[in-house]
Structures are given as C-alpha cells and as structure tokens.
Structure 1
Amino acid sequence: MWHRRHSRSDQINRQRIDGLFPIVSAYKPGGAGETSLARILLTGATGLIGGAILHQALERDDGRQWVCLVRCANADQGRQRVAARLARFTDAFTAQRLVRRAEIVPGDFTQADRDHDARLDDVTHILHLAADTSYFGDDRLFQTNRDGTLALARRAARMRNLRRFLHIGTAMSCGADAGSLVAEAQPDPAARHLVPYTASKAAAEEALAAEHPDLPLVVARPSIVVGHSTLGAGPSSSILWLVRAADRLRLLPCRPESCCDIIPADWAAEALITLLLKPDLAHNLYHVSAGLPSRTRWSELNRAFEAAEPSDGVRTLSSFDLDDRTVLRERFRAVFGLDSPLKRTMLRATRAYFGFCALDMTFANDRLLGEGVAPAPALTEYLSTCLANSDSILEQFADDIEMFAPTALQAPLAGPHTAELPQAVVA
C-alpha cells in the first residue's frame, strides 16, 4: 500500500531531491509516430494496478507492444494468468481477446539479469510494478523488492533502446515521521518504518540510484489504492474491506477530521501510463496520490457511508489510542467475532492498517498534476459504486489475506474470492 525526512516546516530542497536521479527525457526528438514504436516490458501484470494498466493499454490498441514478464511454466499458462486478471475489468471473452494482443514471456524479474531471452533486447520502456507486498518476512521482502529490482536493472542496462525505466515504489517510502503533508524526497536510510515492506521499497530506490545512475530512471510512488471509479469493487477489494470495517466498528485511531490519501486503480493506471510514455518529464520522482485536492477526510467518508447505506441516523466515529490493544480487540469481537482464524487474521490486519491511518498523511501531488494528469476522484465520489458490488467485509478481506498470514487459510469461507486467493508476490 502503502527518503529522506523533510523538515518540520515541510520545506524540501528540490535541488537535492532531483539530484538523486538524472532528469529523464524519455524519447529522442520525434513525432507521435515514434511513440507508436514503443515496446513496453511490464512486470506485475497479474496484480491490481498492472491489470488496470494492461486493460487500458490493450483496449486502446494504439500500436505499442506490451510484453508481460510472468511467473509461469510456459506462455500459455502465463497468458491464462494475465487473462484472469483482465477478466476482473471486463468479461471473460473480451479478456481472452485482449490478452492475445500482449506478448507473454515466462520469467522472474528477480532473476532477470540471467534471462537472455532475445525478446527483451528491444524493449524501449520498462514499467516495474511487481513486488512482494506482505507484512512479514523481512529477509524475503528485501531479497525480492530490493535485490530483485537490481537484477531487473542489470538486465535493463543491456537493453540498447531503453528510453525509460519507471519503477513503482510506495508513498510510504518516506517513513512514519515525515509529517502530515509529504513532498517527494529521496529515501532516508534512517527513517522509521511501520512495516518491512515500505522499508524494502525505500531500499530499492536507494540501491537503484547508487548502482545504476545511468539508467533513464523515473520513480512513481502510489498512495493507497482502493477500488475502481467505475467498476467499484469488481477488480479488487483490497483495502476497501478496511475502510468498510472502520465504518462498521465506528472506530478510528485518529480524529474524524484526519485525512487518508486514497486513489482508485483506474486513475492510478492512467497516471502511471502518462509517466511512462510522456516524452519529457520535469522531475524523476512523483507521488501518484490524491494530494490536497482529492484527499478524503474520515468525517466526509462517514457521511458518504450514511448516504449509501443509511443507518438509524447515528453513525458517530470514536477515536481511540492505537497503543491500547484492548479497545480495538473488544470492539472487533463485538462486531465481527473472533471465533475463526480468518477473523483473528483480519483483526491483525486491521491493527496494521490502522497504524498507517493514525499517521494522517497526505502526499503532495503538485508534480504529477504539473504533467497534465487530472486530479483523482475522491473516494467519497465513488464509494457508492464500490459498495454496489461488494461482498461481505469478511469475504473482501480475502483479497489481502496473504499479506498477513504466512500460510494462506484454506477455503476460509464460501464465496467468489476463495477459489483463488491473491499472491503476495505479484509477477
């Protein structure tokens, strides 16, 4: 989901920030015809954002070639994995039609430096989304997210036509003490992180800059991705369950006027495509976030829930101290129960996500908007769409369960999402 710490006054030395990576001009001088010759390597095509990007790109069918590096035994198996993700955005028939427009290359980005597949040689753009997003396994996280990314960078260094390497990080690379309004800044090795995942993503950025200064590198850091602005919960229920659980619990680890920086998957996909393909960018580090224009206050979200799912008129949110573990546990027990491994894992996940909510962070997106990207719709604008096709909160938690349980719970409940639990490593 979820550099160097800036000062209390949120003033950032922009010259030092932009010094982290060379400013990138993605294309050599040329017209629109040149962009149509782009050959794009995508990692993470079977994940939520990767699927959203691929769906939008393949629907356009604009002459750009999309090459998906997928963990699979063979291309047919990989094609079915990608088609299954695309089917979350469209019907199954269309998904099968679209996936035929992409080139599937079996492989693992963490071993890409040993991959001599000639189909990778002529890649012009890399969009690196794949990552291990679990909340456990420190060593494995760093091996995948930092060391694996470096392996991909070493392979990228052999791509003679490479114009841009867009690395997808996380807005929480800033650490937990960056302040309430966070501007883009280089990772701070001494920053305090709430979970190893965000530390590993910050380490990947540091390592890329240190070991591959000649790559045409741009870093994009999405904030919290929840739902889809038109398809609602169809593509994924990840983190949506947490927002609904907070409403059901009527409990927050922060003030109701606090903010959360939430964006929909389709908007995030469009923003990332812009950063990938726009010929000239003013910066090399961007938040892909709601920012000040579109951030959501919990009090506003509370009213949106009431409008979408009217209660008895009393929908008061209470604040609690996250360090008081008893308050959340007892409220969770009263609302959801703690009579199954699934529910106990969900409590653990709720506490972990509440840790981020308590930070009350907004990620400045002036740079992104300056590239011509329209502001994101606020969650309050598409919440009713998400609720219209939502399963129960417990069923929706299935989209995130492997992030919190070292061994996935087997068939925890009957429902459409139990047949294929999400993989923590998206590739």
Structure 2
Amino acid sequence: MPSILITGASGFVGGAVVEHFLRQYPKNEINLLLLVRAETTAAGLLRIRTNLEKFGLNSQQLASINEENILIGDLSEPEAFTQDPRIDNVTHVINCAAIASFGNNPALWRVNVDGSLAFAQRMAKVKSLQRFVHVGTAMASMPDKDSVFYEDMPDNAHNEDLVQYTASKRAIENLIREHCPDLPFVVARPSIIVGHTQYGCRPSSSIFWVFLMALKLKKFTCQLDDKIDVIPVDYCAMVLANLCLSEEVKHNFYHISSGEEMCTPFSAIDESVAKANNTSAIVNDYQQISYQEFTGIRKQFKDILGPCNDKIILRAIKLYGGFAELNVKFDNQRLLDMGIPRPMAFTRYIDKCVSTTQGLSIPELMMVDFK
C-alpha cells in the first residue's frame, strides 16, 4: 500500500492534493502522512481539517484523517521532523510546501531552498521511496515575452526574475538534482493556479483578486487581447497525484498548464466576470497604461477599491502587471501524452470565483499573496 508524504497539506495546493486522495481512494488503499506546522498533533489535525473544509469535504471524509496521519514539522527547521521513524516507510512524496508569497518574506529562502534541500537529502536515504514529486512554478523558467515555453527548453538565464519566489523555486530544483542524484525526482511546474472548479475561491483567493482589481480600475499594464495560462487547483492536484502514483513516468519535468490552445484572453475574463455580476464588460472603457502612469493616479485607489494602502496596491500592480505583460503560454504535451485531459477553461468556472469573493474587498483578498 502506498504511503504518501504530502508537505504543505494545510495550504492551497497541498490541501487540494489531500482532497483529491480522500475523494478518489478508499482509506485502505493508501496511507497519508501530512506535514503541518503546529505545536501539537491535535492542533495540526485541526489545521488540516479546517483547511479541508474549504474544499467541501463531508464529515466522514474529514474524520478519515486522524492524528496518526499528522507529522508535525516546518521546512524552516527540517531537523525537527526528519527523524520521525514513519518517514522510513514512505513510498511517495508530493512536496507542495513553500512560502509562495510575492512579498518580501524573510523566511522565503530558508524554507524554499535550504529546508527543502535538507528534506530531499533525508528522503534520498529512504530505501522504500519510489517517487519524489516536487512542486515548482512555470514562471521559474523566466520565459520570453509573447512566447510559448516548451518542456524541453532550458530556463532563460538572460531574463531576470520578477520576484524572489520564482528564483527560489528554480534554485531548489537545481540543488536537489546536484546533491541528490539518486532521488527518484520529478518536477511539476504549474502555471498560474486560480480557484477551484467546484468551490471557486473558497479554498483561496490567490491571484483572482488581481483580475478583480484590474477590472475595477479599468486599467492595467497588459492588453485585453493578451492571454494568461490559468489552471484550477483541483486539476493541478489531480495531475500531481497521477505523477506521484503512475507506474511509468517518462520525464523528470512536466508543466501543469492549460497549454497554448486553452490560454485565456483577458477580454474573456472581463466578459465572464461581468456576466457573473450581471453587469457590463469594461472592454470599451479599458485602458492599457504603464506602471509609471499608475503611480500618478495612486490617490484614486481608495475611491475605487475602498480603504487600502496605495503602496501595497502599487507593488501588486508592478509585480502582477509584469507577469500579465509577458503574454506567455506553457506547453503541456507531456501530460497529454500520458492521457491526462486538458484542464477546464478558466471562463467555465469563473462564476464560482466571483460568487465566493463577493462582499470582500480587494485588500482583504490580496493578503493571501502578500503574507
């Protein structure tokens, strides 16, 4: 029976992975070991169940996770949990844990790189280990503007990272390959993860607020006919589970993306949000302006977005505007070759994202990405 260690299980992607296993596999078919930050096992279990409630699991499914499934620990201090004897029985790992903040979190490098490397080195010593799936980010490739980034292409060393998060995720991939050559290591690089096909933004409002902010401002740094490579978190989780348990995985690197054909134009996002809100699209009023022009209208932010810190809004516009301007697509042929279907189009579940964020301000929604 597979014994699967999932890190980051109290987070957005990790929670979706746990949801997938609980829905798709009877308890007697797999054993889950969930890494979570907490003072006690009971507190860790509460964190996991509270997170899973956001994914619509029922009481019976939640009850199937108990204290035996909990591994207390933190990747910032991996030595505190890597000696747990249960780790020596692990057969598979899905490493979702990371500080995914686009803010200046001082612990980012310590967790995403130093701690993750120490964890990988420990798992490389586990004789029963069959696969270690590491969750990176497609943006770590530093893609060229207006390009399609294919899975056999090297990362673009000539481009600069827009945020330290992407730099840290690329660095840890290279370090694990260098220091753990015998680890059964598979990298999954998701594109932009937004919402859940059934539960919208209830599990997390990450990234979705950017679209709402741009539509409220009626301005952003990209054109409306530019496209963005968006996937739902439950699709990402399904793919991670498949990469984890599939008997044959031909490559050591995969994009989890919508692919060139299914990238979503910003104009379609505008239309879908307007339809969900029963309002008019902003297409005729939209303006593409530069970040510098945004700095000149910063005093208007509070009137349009409600009480907010204009410095944080400007920082968000600079960061996310930089990603939006790329207009990049990520090839997903390797997953298609495995028989994995394409993800649901963003516009088909955007109404659920709208309904689950109503009544919340942009500053409230964006805090998840600036922790």
Q: Same fold per TM (> 0.5)? A: yes
Work out the CA distance in 1 between the residues paired with 2:154 and 2:76: 24
Corresponding residue for 2:7?
43
2:202–2:356 Cα contact (<8 Å) kept: yes
Equivalent position to 2:351, from 357, 363, 384: 384
Match of 2:178 among 199, 210, 216: 210
Within 2, Cα distance between the matches of 1:385 and 1:41? Answer: 31
Q: CA deviation at 1:354?
A: 1.5
Please say if residues 126 and 164 of structure 1, whose CA atoms lie closer than 8 Å, have aligned partners that are also in contact. Answer: yes
What is the deviation of 1:305? 2.2
Distance 1:122 1:187, change over 3 A: farther
Task: Pick closer, same or farther for the CA change 1:392–1:348 going to 2, 3 Å.
Answer: farther
**Inter-partner Cα distance in structure 2 for 1:219 and 1:261:** 19
**Are positions 1:325 and 2:325 aligned together?**
no
In structure 2, the partner of 1:357 is 324
In structure 2, what is the equivalent of residue 153 of structure 1? 120
Aligned mate of 1:67, from 33, 37, 45 = 33
Q: Which residue of 2 aligns with 1:100?
A: 66
Question: Aligned-pair distance for 1:221?
Answer: 0.6
- Is the CA contact (8 Å cut-off) linking 1:173 and 1:202 kept in structure 2? yes
1:282-309 CA-to-partner distances (Å, cap 9, x unmatched) read 2111111111132100111122223222
Question: What is the TM-score with the length of structure 2 in the denominator?
Answer: 0.91
CA distance in 1, matches of 2:313, 2:41: 35
Q: Which residue of 2 aligns with 1:234?
A: 202
- 8 Å CA contact 2:294–2:314 kept in 1: the answer is no
2:270–2:282 Cα contact (<8 Å) kept: no
Q: Is the 8 A contact 1:221 1:288 kept in 2?
A: yes
Provide the secondary structure at the position in 1 that maps to 2:315: helix
1:100-130 CA-partner distances (Å, limit 9, x unpaired): 3961011223443562111000101110010
Rounded Cα–Cα distance in structure 1 between residues aligned with 2:139 and 2:297: 24
Deviation at residue 53 of structure 1 after TM alignment: 1.0
Partner Cα distance (2:116, 2:249) in 1: 23
> In the alignment, which of 235, 243, 256 is matched to residue 211 of structure 2?
243
1:189-211 deviations in Å (ceiling 9; x for gaps): 55410011111111111111111
Q: Which residue of 2 aligns with 1:274?
A: 242
Indicate whether 1:311 and 2:279 are aligned: yes
Counterpart residue number, 2:304: 335
Q: Secondary structure at the match of 2:89?
A: coil
Query: Given that residues 53 and 269 in structure 1 are in contact (C-alpha distance below 8 angstroms), is that contact kept between their aligned partners in structure 2?
Result: yes
- Please list the CA deviations of residues 152-189 of structure 1 after superposition, one character each: whole Å capped at 9, or x if unmatched: 11110121111101010011101253652111244455
Distance in 2 between residues matched to 1:217 and 1:336, nearest whole Å:
44
Q: Which amino acid aligns with 2:55?
A: F
**How far apart are 1:235 and its partner, in Å?**
1.5
Residue 10 (structure 1) aligns with: none
CA contact (8 A) 2:216 2:305 kept: no
Work out whether residues 146 and 204 of structure 1, in 8 Å CA contact, stay in contact via their aligned partners in 2: yes
- Equivalent residue, structure 2, for 1:85: 51
Q: Could you state the TM-score of these two structures normalised by the residue count of structure 1?
A: 0.80
Task: Quote the Cα distance in structure 1 between the aligned partners of 2:325 and 2:281.
Answer: 26
381 and 74 in structure 1: CA distance in 2 versus 1, 3 angstrom threshold? same
Structure 2 residue 94 is the aligned partner of structure 1 residue 127 = yes
Residue of structure 2 in register with 1:252 after alignment? 220
CA 1:379/1:313 → structure 2, altered by over 3 Å: closer, same or farther? closer
Aligned residues: 366
Residue by residue over 1:41-91, the C-alpha shift from the partner in whole angstroms, topping out at 9 and shown as x without a partner, is: 100001111111101212233311110111111211110010010010125
Q: Which letter does structure 1 place at the counterpart of 2:305?
A: F
Structure 2: stretches of 5+ with no match in the other structure: none
Q: C-alpha distance in 2, partners of 1:313/1:172?
A: 29
Instruction: Look up the equivalent residue of 1:247 and give its one-letter code.
Output: L
Identity of aligned residues (%): 33
CA distance in 2, matches of 1:130, 1:104: 15
8 Å Cα contact 1:84/1:95 also seen in 2: no
| Residue of structure 2 equivalent to 1:164 | 131
Tell me which amino acid in the other structure corresponds to 1:38. P
Pairwise CA distance, 1:394: 1.5
Asked whether the equivalents of residues 40 and 124 of structure 1 are also in contact (C-alpha less than 8 Å), the reply is yes
How far apart, in 2, do the equivalents of 1:292 and 1:315 lie?
23
Q: Against the structure 1 CA distance between its residues 85 and 102, is the aligned structure 2 distance closer, same or farther, given a 3 Å change threshold?
A: farther
Pairwise CA RMSD of aligned residues?
A: 2.3
Q: Is the 8 A contact 1:135 1:195 kept in 2?
A: yes
Distance 1:233 1:70 in 2: 22
Match among 83, 94, 105 for residue 116 of structure 1: 83
2:342 partner SS: coil
Contact persistence 2:134–2:187 (CA under 8 A) = yes
The residue type paired with residue 118 of structure 1 is: P
